[in-house]
Amino acid sequence: MATITLKVTGMHCKSCEMLITDALEEAGVSSAKVDSKTGTAIIEFDEKKTKIEKIKKVIENEGYKVQ
């Protein structure tokens, strides 16, 4: 398992957090802690099943930017 912390811009509320969390969980990550106040997403995932690029793309497809 690997854990990454991504900077996510464009989040404003709990709904934003839930939207990203749900999308990440559907994409197969083990866990996601998304915080709109700090603008971060802490994501745990299996490197054999998914890649960081895919995780970033999932977040961007929901309308947010990953730095």
Q: State the CATH number of the domain containing residue 25.
A: 3.30.70.100
Query: What distance in Å separates the CA atoms of residue 20 and residue 8, rounded to the nearest whole number?
Result: 10
Query: What distance in Å separates the CA atoms of residue 60 and residue 46, rounded to the nearest whole number?
Result: 20
In this prediction the pTM is: 0.93
Question: What pLDDT was estimated at residue 34?
Answer: 98
What total number of domains does the chain contain? 1
Q: Domain limits at 57?
A: 2-66
pLDDT tens readout for residues 1-44 = 999 999 999 999 999 999 999 999 999 999 999 999 999 999 99
What the block records as the tokens of 20 is 């990203």
pLDDT band at 63 (very low <50, low <70, confident <90, very high): very high
